[in-house]
Amino acid sequence: MCGYFAKAVVCESGHLVTSNAESEKGPVTPYCMTCGKKIIDKCQHCGQDIPGEEFAETNGLEITYDGMGTTSGPLHESLGFRGVPKYCPSCGKPYPWTQSAIEAALDYIDTLIVLDTSERHDMKKALDNIVADSPKSAPAARRLVQLSRKAGKEALKFFQQVLAGVVCEAAKREMWG
């Protein structure tokens, strides 16, 4: 069985425009209607399409008419959309919405003067491990929560607002239940 991902269209802030650009009836607007940021459909580092809705080949034949004649090919069934990706699967670099959230969190950590330099460094290190899912994600999230509590309740609230869309599931469970 062969499958593929349709091309997703997302704004630079991570707002999904469509998970299947091929199914759109007309052109997509150049800017996001939610935040005004530029709309993209390719990785800005390698040019690969942003993966959207996933399709799998099924046992069947699809016949289509393209205006010049009929063509046939394998029938594909939607497996759904997994959500806006954080990293490009082709080059491994973060998409703009992921990079922006990380940068905002790093800048915020620098303002937490109630924490000493070593604790702020630990927070930044923890941040690296909560975005990409790994065995280090849950312990890093616990450390970030611990230091956020020391910094004040506003710190954890800030991280929840800024990072909610980019942290991995294990970190979400640790940080926000």
Residue 120 included in any domain? yes
Six token digits for residue 13: 């802030």
The residue ranking higher by pLDDT, 2 or 173, is 173
pTM of this prediction? Answer: 0.82
Kindly state whether residues 103 and 165 are assigned to the same domain. Answer: yes
Q: Which three-class secondary structure state does DSSP give residue 90?
A: coil
What is the dihedral sign for C-alpha 160, 163, 169, 174? negative
Boundary residue ending a domain (45, 80, 115) = 80
Please check whether residues 125 and 54 belong to one and the same domain.
no
Whether the Cβ atoms of residue 50 and residue 9 lie closer than 8 Å to each other: yes
Tell me: do 58 and 109 sit in the same domain.
no
Q: What is the pLDDT of residue 70?
A: 52
Higher pLDDT among residues 73 and 52, named by residue: 52
Residue 1's pLDDT is what? 47
Predicted confidence at residue 76, as pLDDT, reads 67
8-state DSSP, 87:
B
Q: How many folded domains does the chain comprise?
A: 2
Q: Last residue of a domain, which of 25, 46, 80?
A: 80
**Domain around 64:** 3-80
> Is residue 116 assigned to a domain?
yes
The beta strands (E) that lie in the chain are given as: 3-7, 9-11, 16-18, 39-40, 51-65, 70-80
- pLDDT, one tens digit per residue, over 86-128 is 999 999 999 999 999 999 999 999 999 999 999 999 999 999 8
Rounded mean pLDDT of the chain?
A: 88
In this predicted structure, what is the pLDDT of residue 49?
97
- Percent of the chain at pLDDT > 70 equals 89
Q: What is the pLDDT of residues 135-174, one digit of tens each?
A: 999 999 999 999 999 999 899 999 999 998 899 999 999 9
In this structure, the answer to whether residues 134 and 159 fall within a common structural domain is yes
Contacts with 176 (C-beta within 8 Å, 6 or more apart), sequence order? 160, 164
For residue 50, is it within any domain? yes
All residues at 6 or more sequence positions from 25 whose CB lies less than 8 Å from its CB, including other chains: none
Q: Which pair of structure tokens corresponds to residue 102?
A: 């990380």
Cα→Cα distances 63→6, 57, 69, 72, Å: 19, 14, 10, 4
Q: What is the mean pLDDT of residues 11-38?
A: 90
Largest CA distance in the chain: 70
Q: Are residues 70 and 115 in the same domain?
A: no
Last residue in a domain, options 47, 80, 113: 80
Instruction: Report if residue 87 sits inside a domain.
Output: no
- Dihedral of the CA atoms 83, 85, 90, 93 (nearest 10)? 180
Distance CA 26, CA 75 (A): 24
Q: Are residues 108 and 56 located together in one domain of the fold?
A: no
